[in-house]
Amino acid sequence: MNGRDFTGDDFELLLLRIVDGEASEADMATAADAIAASTELRKRAFVFLCDESLLADEIDNAQRVSKLIEAASSPRERRLAGRQQVEEPPSRRLTEGGILSYVNRHGLAIAAAAALLIAGLIAHNVNMMSKVARLHELTVQNETQAEVQVVVDDAATADRRAKKRIGGAGIGRVIGLDDVRWPEEASELTYGDTVEEGRLVHLAGGVLEILLANGAKVTAAGPVEFELTSLLAMDLQRGKIVASVPRNARGYTIVTPTSELVDIGTQFGVAVSDSGDTELHVFDGDVVARSRVKAASTDLVHAKENEAIRFSAATTELERFAARESGFVRRLTPQVASSELPPLPRVEGLCLWYSADMIRDIAVGEPLPVWRDILVGDNRFANDARQFDDRRCPKLVNDGLGRRAVRFDGGATSLQIDPMDNSGCSTVFVAFAPGPTSFSNDHHGDILFKYGMAPSLELSLQQDRTLRSWVWPGPNENNVASVRSPSIEGRRISVVACQYDSLQSRCQLWLNGAPCAEVDAPVELRQCDASYLGSHGELQNNAFFFGSLYEVIVYDGEFDIQSLGAVSSYLLDRYETASSN
């Protein structure tokens, strides 16, 4: 039997009979064969046995449960009252009453019921389902996922020694498209496509956004023609682009018919007319440039924030004027107005901010391919968290109290954060709620947040329900700066904060506003690679988070105890979390 042989909720009814001990040997054999043969049914089995337990635990308000029971039982009552003469099919009974009433009867015992199913299948020589973790592995299988990653030798040469592991000669990926139109002779790009070194891009209209492996982003508005000559350079023949370049990618160069523009860690726009005239508009930071016009001076010129320079093919003289943003697309997704943002108490040093209740472009219940970085204060460059494989996207959900959260399934879902760098002092806050169990390995646990390259800071939930942070210095070295919290209770929202300050040689861990431990920070953090939410960068390490993330905040630079307490209090108040566990 395969996935197409089951109609409605027949498969869930079969699982229900097994966990209730009412299944025949034929039922057991049917379930085993179906789960082994069908990817769809493996996923449905996981959702029924594991995800429904999340729902059960979130419905802890007696009045809410009472209403659900009443709603679930009403069809049966109507039948008993003679209002419905025709017996309902099993699939409808399960949909309207079976699952909800089962959840209300068993609550968190669903996870244990899953174990009973496994035990029954073992008795029938189904070795692939020897425990709940094995069922999870079968129902949500790991598959190869292409990712933009960076390998560097040292901080001084990171920007020019960046490499990729995305296959072929790829140097980046398409991360956004809006109303794009391609000329007939041009090859089209779609979301998630790898962009190769030397790729010619000819866009007739619309907006295209490309993330390079070193963290630089190029946003092009058609009509535009350019060539990505390398990881650190492009030739712009005509049209408009905006380049957003982090510190680790400084030196990014744009060559036009009349100019050569070299970034020093900034965001700037470039417009090239059909005649080759070039305008440079610096929105943030600094750019150095020189003319390529014949007989013009080749001396370097400097453009600062809010300054612009025009290079004309008809003259050797440069023209300086005030920069303007009109006509340029600085970011594909509109930024949330500051008046609509939560009252984050500190924006100085902010370098990343995700908040589930600020997600506006995805409906509740849908997969989340991109969690947008909120730009405010010192956070000027967006480091969005992405998942290019729709099978691995977490979901946007409402919890039992109606609060938005991003749900990770503990076996396949994760998000990769655009490459970002820091100064050696990093402070990470995560507001999260754990799932009812864990499928991760004992070494890593359920990873909440992880920097990609060594030395790598890793923050995770362990099997004993403690929080742990540590730093992996690199290959063949033991982890350092390991600190743990007390065990968290239940599955309510908790707020964990980790500060790793290699400048002061101090690493601290806080849980729900209370300090847990402090140790030395012996190695310097140097980051210019992708980071991760909900998993390890190496997926085979099986360190997937099972539960929900509500908010993630990262600061770069010195961060005092008063600020740490203020941001912790902000998160505790937002999610009504007790001050201690």
On the question of pLDDT at 402 being above 60, the answer is: yes
Asked if 387 and 465 sit in the same domain, the reply is yes
In this prediction, residue 287 carries a pLDDT of 94
In this prediction, residue 385 carries a pLDDT of 96
Of 259, 288, 322, the domain-final residue: 322
Q: Using one digit for the tens of pLDDT, what is the confidence trace for 346-374?
A: 999 999 999 999 998 899 999 999 999 99
Write out the two tokens for 413: 């879902």
Q: pLDDT grade, residue 498 (50/70/90)?
A: very high
Instruction: Tell whether 67 is covered by a domain.
Output: yes
Contact 528, 248 (CB under 8 A): yes
Asked if 107 and 9 sit in the same domain, the reply is yes
Asked if 501 and 544 sit in the same domain, the reply is yes
In this prediction, residue 439 carries a pLDDT of 85
Contact 438, 463 (CB under 8 A): yes
Write out the two tokens for 411: 């076996």
CB neighbour class for 87 (10 Å; exposed up to 12, middle 13-18, buried from 19): exposed
Instruction: Tell whether 579 is covered by a domain.
Output: no
DSSP 8-state code for residue 465: S
Mean pLDDT of 307-321: 93
CATH code of the domain covering residue 426: 2.60.120.200
Rounded distance, CA 545 to CA 133, Å?
A: 13
Q: Using one digit for the tens of pLDDT, what is the confidence trace for 136-154?
A: 444 443 333 333 333 333 3
Write out the two tokens for 188: 């089209």
Rounded distance, CA 119 to CA 31, Å?
A: 13
Asked if 56 and 159 sit in the same domain, the reply is no
Mean pLDDT of 36-52: 62
Asked if 184 and 294 sit in the same domain, the reply is yes
Write out the two tokens for 435: 């799932």
**What one-letter code names the amino acid at 581?**
N
Q: pLDDT grade, residue 48 (50/70/90)?
A: low
Asked if 311 and 346 sit in the same domain, the reply is no
10 Å Cβ neighbour count for 483? 18
pTM of the model: 0.74
Rounded distance, CA 260 to CA 265, Å?
A: 16
On the question of pLDDT at 106 being above 60, the answer is: no
Rounded distance, CA 88 to CA 227, Å?
A: 63
Rounded distance, CA 409 to CA 143, Å?
A: 15
The sign of the CA dihedral 81, 82, 87, 91 is negative
108-112, 255-259, 392-396: least confident range: 108-112
Instruction: Tell whether 350 is covered by a domain.
Output: yes
Asked if 80 and 202 sit in the same domain, the reply is no
Rounded distance, CA 567 to CA 558, Å?
A: 14
What is the four-CA torsion angle of 75, 77, 83, 88, rounded to 10 degrees? 40
Most distant CA pair in the chain, distance: 96
DSSP letters, 469-529, are: EEEE-STT---EEEEEPPPP-TTS-EEEEEEEETTTTEEEEEETTEEEEEE---S-----E
Sorted by sequence, the CB contacts under 8 Å of residue 411 that are 6+ apart come out as 46, 136, 137, 139, 140, 142, 439, 544, 546
In this prediction, residue 71 carries a pLDDT of 46
Give the closest residue to 211 by CA, choosing from 361, 356, 420, 366.
Answer: 420
CB neighbour class for 444 (10 Å; exposed up to 12, middle 13-18, buried from 19): buried
Sorted by sequence, the CB contacts under 8 Å of residue 277 that are 6+ apart come out as 258, 310, 311, 312, 313, 314
Q: Using one digit for the tens of pLDDT, what is the confidence trace for 539-560?
A: 888 899 999 999 999 999 888 8
**What one-letter code names the amino acid at 20?**
D
CB neighbour class for 356 (10 Å; exposed up to 12, middle 13-18, buried from 19): buried
Asked if 266 and 392 sit in the same domain, the reply is no
Please give the backbone phi and psi of residue 451, each rounded to the nearest 5 degrees, phi first: -75, 150
On the question of pLDDT at 338 being above 90, the answer is: no
Rounded distance, CA 209 to CA 207, Å?
A: 7
In this prediction, residue 491 carries a pLDDT of 84
Instruction: Tell whether 237 is covered by a domain.
Output: yes
Give the closest residue to 140 by CA, choosing from 18, 53, 45.
Answer: 45
Q: Using one digit for the tens of pLDDT, what is the confidence trace for 81-104?
A: 333 333 333 333 333 343 334 434
Asked if 10 and 109 sit in the same domain, the reply is yes
Please give the backbone phi and psi of residue 78, each rounded to the nearest 5 degrees, phi first: -65, -40
**Residue linked to tokens 């296959």:** 167
Helix (H, G, I), strand (E, B) or coil at 303: strand
Domain housing 421: 339-574
In this prediction, residue 336 carries a pLDDT of 79
Instruction: Tell whether 147 is covered by a domain.
Output: no
In this prediction, residue 511 carries a pLDDT of 96
Instruction: Tell whether 150 is covered by a domain.
Output: no
Contact 213, 370 (CB under 8 A): no
* Cα-trace Rg, the chain: 27
Q: In terms of residues, how long is the chain?
A: 581
Please confirm whether the linkage preceding 455 is cis (ω < 30° from 0).
yes
* Residue 176, strand partner residues: 209
Mean pLDDT of the chain: 78
Contact 197, 215 (CB under 8 A): no
Instruction: Tell whether 148 is covered by a domain.
Output: no
Q: How many domains does the chain have?
A: 3
Beta strands in 130-266 (DSSP E): 170-181, 194-196, 199-203, 205-212, 217-230, 233-244, 253-255, 259-263
Q: Whole-angstrom distance between the N-terminal and C-terminal Cα of the chain?
A: 48
Q: Which helix (H) or strand (E) holds 417?
A: strand 415-420
Asked if 358 and 293 sit in the same domain, the reply is no
CATH code of the domain covering residue 231: 2.60.120.1440
Mean pLDDT of 153-159: 36
68-82, 176-190, 435-449, 533-547: least confident range: 68-82
154-168, 450-464, 496-510: least confident range: 154-168
Of 292, 322, 352, the domain-final residue: 322
Q: Using one digit for the tens of pLDDT, what is the confidence trace for 180-232?
A: 999 987 788 999 999 999 999 999 999 999 999 888 999 999 999 999 999 99
10 Å Cβ neighbour count for 190? 8
Instruction: Tell whether 330 is covered by a domain.
Output: no
Q: pLDDT grade, residue 57 (50/70/90)?
A: very low
Mean pLDDT of 389-403: 93
In this prediction, residue 175 carries a pLDDT of 92
Asked if 297 and 379 sit in the same domain, the reply is no
Q: pLDDT grade, residue 528 (50/70/90)?
A: low
Asked if 113 and 168 sit in the same domain, the reply is no
Q: Using one digit for the tens of pLDDT, what is the confidence trace for 407-420?
A: 999 989 999 998 88
Of 322, 349, 377, the domain-final residue: 322
In this prediction, residue 331 carries a pLDDT of 83
